[in-house]
């Protein structure tokens, strides 16, 4: 895949290391991930799609049938699989950071936290028809704030953090990530291993 010329040097510095986007549901990991992949000439992978394809079920169905613990175990297996590929932008699930074992995979690449205030996340989620199993409760706003408070210290372990405002477009967020990446690459990147998936 072709890289945008202005980011060719950045792609060379990444040396095939994956970018793992972390953050809460509604933080734009999928939309920003697609743009980053296009700019860098990388493959884009949605962890939930890879997980759903491997399980042969949708995420809400898997969650309902296996519970959160079963879902998290399957998520870890999917992340481990993606960690064997290189030159990928991976949009992870919002709770992927909660399992310490997942950080073994994430740390093989560069971890990018797409941060956003709870109010921005909630507004986006209300406009998004995608089912969110963890928000199927009487007070989704309060549940979202609780999840954010619990996960923020974990997201903060990322190599790069981009704080979004409610007016930032996905393109603007992606540009901010690309601008911040060189600082995170002061040390040699942790490269991937095998080749990227061929069907992307």
Domains of the chain: 5-184 (3.40.50.300)
Q: Is 46 marked within a binding site?
A: no
Name 14's bridge partners: none
Can you tell me whether residue 138 is helix, strand or coil?
Answer: coil
Q: Is 139 marked within a binding site?
A: no
Q: Is 143 marked within a binding site?
A: no
Q: Is 29 marked within a binding site?
A: yes
Residue 117 in tokens: 């205030």
Q: Is 107 marked within a binding site?
A: no
CA distance 39 to 98: 29
Q: Is 94 marked within a binding site?
A: yes
Q: Is 151 marked within a binding site?
A: yes
Inter-residue contact 90 to 51 (CB < 8 Å): no
Inter-residue contact 12 to 65 (CB < 8 Å): no
Q: Is 166 marked within a binding site?
A: no
More confident of the two residues 91 and 141: 91
* pLDDT tens-digit series, residues 136-168: 767 878 888 898 999 999 999 999 999 998 889
Q: Is 30 marked within a binding site?
A: yes
* pLDDT tens-digit series, residues 30-84: 999 999 999 999 999 999 899 989 889 888 888 889 888 888 899 999 999 999 9
Task: Give the distance, in angstroms, between the CA of residue 164 and the centroid of all CA atoms in the same chain.
Answer: 15
* pLDDT tens-digit series, residues 160-195: 999 998 889 999 999 999 999 999 987 554 544 444
**Any idea what the Cα angle at residue 157 is, between residues 86 and 108, rounded to 5°?**
20
Q: What is the pLDDT of residue 134?
A: 58
């Amino acid at each position: 895949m072709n890289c945008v010329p202005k980011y060719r040097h950045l792609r060379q510095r990444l040396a095939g290391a994956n970018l793992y986007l972390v953050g809460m549901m509604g933080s734009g990991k999928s939309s920003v991930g697609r743009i980053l992949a296009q700019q860098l000439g990388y493959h884009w992978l949605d962890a939930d799609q890879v997980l759903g394809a491997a399980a042969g079920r949708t995420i809400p169905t898997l969650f309902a049938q296996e519970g959160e613990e079963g879902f998290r175990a399957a998520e870890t297996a999917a992340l481990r699989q993606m960690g064997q590929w290189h030159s990928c932008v991976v949009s992870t699930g919002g709770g992927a950071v909660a399992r310490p074992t997942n950080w073994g995979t994430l740390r093989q690449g560069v971890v990018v936290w797409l941060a956003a205030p709870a109010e921005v996340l909630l507004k986006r989620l209300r406009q998004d028809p995608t089912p969110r199993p963890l928000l199927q409760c009487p007070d989704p706003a309060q549940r979202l704030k609780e999840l954010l408070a619990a996960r923020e210290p974990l997201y903060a372990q990322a190599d790069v953090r981009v704080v979004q405002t409610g007016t930032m477009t996905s393109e603007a967020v992606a540009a901010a990530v690309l601008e911040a990446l060189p600082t995170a690459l002061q040390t040699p990147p942790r490269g991937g291993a095998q080749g990227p998936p061929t069907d992307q």
